[in-house]
């Protein structure tokens, strides 16, 4: 009762509290429901109903903090500054629900922390990976023994304010089971039109979530329920090119690793050339997680030398890398095409981009088409379309149409163990087939990506930035794609 007097809450909450308190007074403390009732009243007192932390509207300071913690990612930073600017002018606004989507290790989760610091709010993180119970989001009914509120309200209670920055980590890894579907329960939480009256089964009172800034993170959008995806503003956080990785390594990773391993900056010097060699030859990713592991190994090696009082040079040379990290394994370098019928293609994967080779060979036969290399249905169809397209344009390529009935065609995409699918290899397969039938080699250092139609049109495809980064990593100089992808 004493705690309730200090509370500034709405009439509805006050009325419910009084009613529940009277009920508690009449209860036998030995009764099974007594603990649920006392938990309920405690929760109502602990929730920050009308308590909001004050935002810091110094946009220049916010920009400084975001730039300090993250290299590049301009789109995301602009979106946060726009939100702050509107909030500053209007002083009251439904918080946006952002979904940062991109490959692992590009700094999606840590962005949430920076945003909270930039706008001076509390930071809450809730991991959704593998969550399969709807009650985790919405709470249990109070009729059950051991009933608890949902994790959303528990985290707000922990934060102590009703407007924290709330990171929902790994929203694409929600599961569903016999206990319900949590991604459907999140629809109410993440809808700016509905979430001002969020109803938790345990609390049974409307709670206002409209001031909470929800930031979801995901590696793969295709596994997020379409209705849930529709409620979020999706911001793509792509990978980093080598130059940006170099800046991240120098500004963020090295100081952190030196601190973690008890070294001072005078104990070890890693030059730009060496870091670039590590990036290009010992990692193959869009983010910087593997890079951090490799640099950590170099730093630990130095720590061992200091602890064992060995002689060493402060600077790490490229030759030392082979000793510390072993021989390099840069597998996706451009190999060249000494043969007709071999073309370089570009692929999008969840971890970023990759290059792949499409090989074609002709053997005497009756015009049969064989496809190998663990291809999915869409990619197989692309190959069939490419061959038909080539047949219909045979004359313009100076190919004798009767050739198609006398030769069998075999298309293979190496690394047979890796499943490959998608429509973007259409023009690559077509070029490989044309190269094989005309016995002309493809130009060097060139890669292709785009969907092909029967008429010979090229359609735009996705994942362009990742594909360009992969091509850059592999040393490719030119890329062919649909002009709609130019933007």
Q: 31-90 pLDDT, tens per residue?
A: 888 888 898 999 999 999 888 888 888 889 999 998 888 878 888 889 888 888 888 888
Q: Specify the pLDDT at position 330.
A: 62
Per cent of the chain over pLDDT 70 is 98
Question: In the predicted model, is pLDDT for residue 331 greater than 70?
Answer: no
Task: Check residues 121 and 95 and name the one with the higher pLDDT.
Answer: 121
Specify the higher pLDDT residue, 93 or 43. 43
DSSP state of 236: E
Tell me the C-alpha distance between 378 and 390, whole Å.
18
What is the pLDDT, as a whole number, of residue 281? 83
β pairing state of 213-218 and 165-169: parallel
Q: Please count the helices (runs of H) and the strands (runs of E) in the chain.
A: 19, 17
Check the CA dihedral 214-220-225-231 and report its sign.
positive
Give the residue, 92 or 313, on which the prediction is more confident. Answer: 313
**Distance separating alpha carbons of residues 161 and 215, to the nearest angstrom:** 17
Residue 117 clears pLDDT 70, i.e. is over it? yes
Question: For residue 19, what pLDDT is reported?
Answer: 93
How far is Cα 59 from Cα 82, in angstroms, rounded to an integer? 9
Residues contacting residue 2 through CB under 8 Å, at least 6 positions apart: none
Residue 221 binned pLDDT confidence (cut-offs 50, 70, 90): confident
- Please, are residues 379 and 467 in contact by the beta-carbon 8 Å criterion? no
Phi, psi of 416 (to 5 degrees): -60, -20
| Residue scoring higher pLDDT (95 or 441) | 441
Average pLDDT over residues 81-110: 85
Neighbours of 72 (CB within 10 A): 18
Which DSSP state fits 198? E
pLDDT band at 332 (very low <50, low <70, confident <90, very high): low
| Residue 313 annotated as catalytic | no
pLDDT tens track for 334-378: 776 788 889 999 988 766 678 889 999 999 999 899 999 988 899
Q: Which residues pair with 361 in a beta bridge?
A: 410
pLDDT at 350: 66
Q: What is the pLDDT at residue 345?
A: 92
Burial (CB < 10 A; 0-12, 13-18, 19+), residue 326, is: exposed
Among candidates 341, 340, 249, which has minimal Cα distance to 298?
249
Confidence of residue 159 (pLDDT cuts 50, 70, 90): very high
Q: Which residues make beta-bridge pairs with 98?
A: 215, 233
For the cut 80, the answer to whether the pLDDT of residue 214 exceeds it is yes
Beta-strand relationship, 451-452 and 446-448: unpaired
CA–CA separation, 80 vs 59, rounded Å?
Answer: 10
CA distances to 3, 41, 180, 196, 342 from 202, rounded to whole Å, are 21, 11, 17, 17, 63
**pLDDT at residue number 351:** 65
pLDDT at 55: 84
Residues 6+ apart with CB under 8 A from 256: none
Mean pLDDT, residues 136-147: 87
Active site residue 424: yes
Structure confidence by residue, pLDDT tens digits, 409-437: 999 998 877 788 888 899 999 999 999 99
Q: What DSSP designation does 262 have?
A: T
Count the Cβ atoms, other than its own, within 10 Å of residue 447: 25
pLDDT at 160 over 70: yes
Report the b/e string of 372-388 with b at 16+ CB within 10 A: ebebeeebeebbebbbe
d(Cα 63, Cα 58) in Å, to the nearest integer?
A: 9
End-to-end CA distance of the chain: 62
Active-site residue, from 424, 435, 441, 486 = 424
Question: pLDDT tens-digit profile of 275-301?
Answer: 988 988 888 777 889 899 999 999 999
Which position has the token pair 């500053």?
88
Q: Please determine, for residue 94, whether its predicted confidence score (pLDDT) is greater than 90.
A: no
Using CA atoms, how far apart are residues 259 and 257, in angstroms rounded to an integer? 5
Neighbours of 225 (CB within 10 A): 17
Query: Is residue 469 within 8 Å of residue 239, measured between CB atoms?
Result: yes
pLDDT at 58: 86
Q: Is the model's pLDDT at 446 over the cut of 90? A: yes
The per-residue pLDDT of the chain, averaged, comes to 88
d(CA 295, CA 389): 49
- In tens, the pLDDT along 233-249 reads 998 887 788 888 899 99
DSSP label at 341?
T
Instruction: Report whether pLDDT(126) > 90.
Output: yes
Alpha helix locations (H) across 311-425?
318-325, 377-392, 403-406
Q: Which residues contact 52 (CB under 8 A, 6 or more apart)?
A: 161, 162, 163, 211
- CB of 163 within 8 A of CB of 121? yes
Length of the chain: 487
CA atoms of 210 and 207, how far apart (whole Å): 9
Summarize the confidence of residues 197-216 as an average pLDDT: 91
Give the pair of three-digit tokens for residue 262: 């008890």
């Amino acid at each position: 009762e004493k705690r309730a007097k200090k509370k500034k809450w709405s009439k509805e909450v006050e009325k419910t509290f009084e009613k529940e308190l009277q009920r508690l007074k009449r209860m036998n403390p030995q009764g099974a429901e007594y603990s649920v009732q006392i938990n309920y009243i405690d929760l109502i007192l602990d929730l920050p109903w009308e308590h909001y932390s004050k935002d810091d509207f110094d946009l220049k300071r916010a920009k400084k903090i975001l730039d300090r913690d993250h290299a590049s990612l301009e789109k995301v930073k602009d979106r946060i500054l726009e939100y702050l600017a509107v909030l500053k002018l209007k002083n009251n606004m439904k918080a946006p629900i952002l979904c940062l989507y991109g490959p692992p290790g590009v700094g999606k989760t840590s962005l949430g922390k920076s945003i909270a610091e930039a706008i001076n709010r509390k930071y809450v993180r809730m991991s959704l990976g593998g969550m399969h119970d709807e009650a985790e989001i919405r709470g249990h009914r109070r009729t059950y023994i051991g009933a608890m509120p949902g994790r959303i309200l528990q985290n707000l209670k922990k934060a102590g304010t009703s407007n924290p920055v709330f990171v929902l980590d790994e929203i694409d890894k929600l599961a569903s089971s016999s206990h319900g579907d949590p991604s459907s329960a999140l629809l109410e939480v993440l809808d700016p039109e509905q979430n001002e009256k969020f109803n938790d089964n345990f609390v049974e009172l409307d709670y206002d979530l409209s001031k909470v800034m929800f930031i979801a993170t995901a590696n793969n959008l295709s596994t997020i329920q379409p209705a849930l995806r529709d409620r979020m503003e999706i911001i793509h956080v792509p990978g980093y090119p080598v130059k940006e990785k170099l800046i991240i390594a120098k500004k963020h990773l090295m100081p952190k690793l030196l601190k973690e391993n008890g070294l001072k900056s005078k104990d070890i010097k890693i030059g730009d050339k060496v870091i670039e060699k590590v990036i290009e030859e010992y990692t193959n990713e869009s983010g910087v997680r593997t890079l951090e592991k490799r640099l950590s190994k170099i730093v630990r090696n130095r720590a061992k030398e200091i602890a064992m009082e060995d002689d060493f040079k402060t600077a790490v040379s490229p030759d030392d890398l082979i000793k510390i990290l072993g021989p390099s394994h840069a597998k996706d370098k451009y190999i060249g095409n000494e043969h007709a019928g071999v073309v370089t293609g570009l692929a999008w994967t969840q971890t970023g981009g990759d290059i792949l080779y499409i090989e074609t060979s002709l053997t005497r036969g009756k015009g049969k088409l064989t496809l190998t290399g663990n291809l999915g249905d869409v990619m197989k169809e692309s190959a069939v379309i490419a061959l038909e397209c080539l047949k219909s344009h045979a004359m313009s390529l100076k190919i004798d149409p009767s050739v198609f009935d006398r030769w069998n065609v075999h298309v293979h995409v190496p690394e047979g163990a890796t499943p490959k699918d998608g429509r973007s290899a259409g023009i690559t397969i077509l070029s490989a087939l044309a190269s094989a039938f005309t016995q002309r080699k493809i130009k060097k250092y060139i890669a292709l990506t785009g969907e092909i139609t029967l008429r010979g049109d090229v359609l735009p495809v996705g994942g362009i930035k990742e594909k360009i980064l992969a091509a850059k990593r592999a040393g490719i100089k030119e890329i062919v794609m649909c002009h709609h992808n130019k933007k």
